């Protein structure tokens, strides 16, 4: 066993023998770390996470509880991932706004992925953005600006194409049950939950959806 700090019982953390978990990394109970993963010193991973094959988790990265990271994802210094986030295979984060091989004073720019958000396969998340609660980034999207809570973003550069429920299903116009002066209220036809979208956000969607 590597000399990382395991929160809770060691028996309840699985680290595949091919994985490298550096001393000083913190791994929560119930988390599974699969083949050829590299977790750097000072990284903090919560409970009940699943870290797929070939994932790289850099120095100082924070991962919440119940996070699922699929094969081949690299999460660099400056990225924070909250609870219940899904990161699809080979999604990429950046952390340098002005990359130059010869710049010795570069600073990592931070990125935040909020609770319940999902990032599709092969998406690229350019640093400095916040991906809101329960947002959905489509496969292959290139995210260059903030994604609002429950927002669905698609394409390169990623544009707001709609909204999704907590359960991930799209919310369409025929799911709208109420419009107030401040919110559009949807009810999901899959799980029945209500989702409130502020009017100004709905208007941003109407503008971007035309593009």
Binding site for Zn ion (CB under 5 A): 165, 167, 169, 188, 190-191
5 or 167, CB closer to Zn ion?
A: 167
Task: Kindly state the smallest distance separating residue 192's Cβ from Zn ion, in Å.
Answer: 7
If the CB atoms of residues 43 and 188 are measured against Zn ion, the closer one turns out to be: 188
In the complex, the smallest distance separating the C-beta of residue 99 from Zn ion, rounded to whole angstroms, is: 39
CB of 99 or CB of 173, closer to Zn ion: 173
Rg (CA), the chain: 18
DSSP helix, strand, coil percent of the chain (3-state; round to 5) = 10, 35, 60
Pick 38 or 187: Cβ nearer Zn ion: 187
Q: How far is the CB of 61 from Zn ion (least distance, A)?
A: 30
Q: Report the nearest approach of Zn ion to the CB of residue 190 (Å).
A: 4
DSSP of 127-157, one letter per residue? TT-EEPTT-EEPTT-EE-S-B-TTEEEETTT
* The token pair that represents 69 in the structure block: 């990271």
User: Alpha-carbon distance 107 to 116, whole Å?
Assistant: 28
């Amino acid at each position: 066993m590597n000399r990382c700090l395991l929160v809770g019982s060691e028996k309840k953390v699985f680290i595949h023998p091919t994985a490298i978990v550096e001393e000083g990394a913190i791994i929560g109970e119930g988390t599974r770390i699969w083949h050829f993963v590299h977790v750097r010193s000072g990284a903090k991973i919560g409970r009940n996470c699943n870290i797929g094959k070939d994932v790289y988790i850099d120095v100082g990265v924070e991962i919440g509880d119940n996070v699922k990271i699929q094969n081949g994802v690299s999460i660099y210094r400056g990225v924070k991932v909250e609870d219940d986030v899904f990161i699809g295979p080979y999604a990429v984060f950046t952390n340098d706004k002005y990359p130059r091989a010869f710049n010795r004073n570069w600073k990592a720019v931070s990125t935040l992925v909020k609770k319940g958000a999902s990032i599709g396969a092969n998406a690229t998340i350019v640093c400095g953005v916040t991906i809101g609660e329960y947002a959905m980034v489509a496969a292959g999207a290139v995210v260059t600006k903030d994604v609002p809570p429950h927002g669905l973003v698609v394409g390169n550069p990623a544009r707001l194409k709609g909204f999704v429920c907590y359960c991930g299903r799209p919310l369409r116009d025929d799911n709208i049950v109420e419009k107030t002066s401040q919110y559009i209220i949807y009810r999901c036809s899959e799980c029945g939950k209500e989702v409130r979208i502020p009017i100004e956000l709905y208007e941003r969607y109407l503008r971007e959806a035309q593009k």
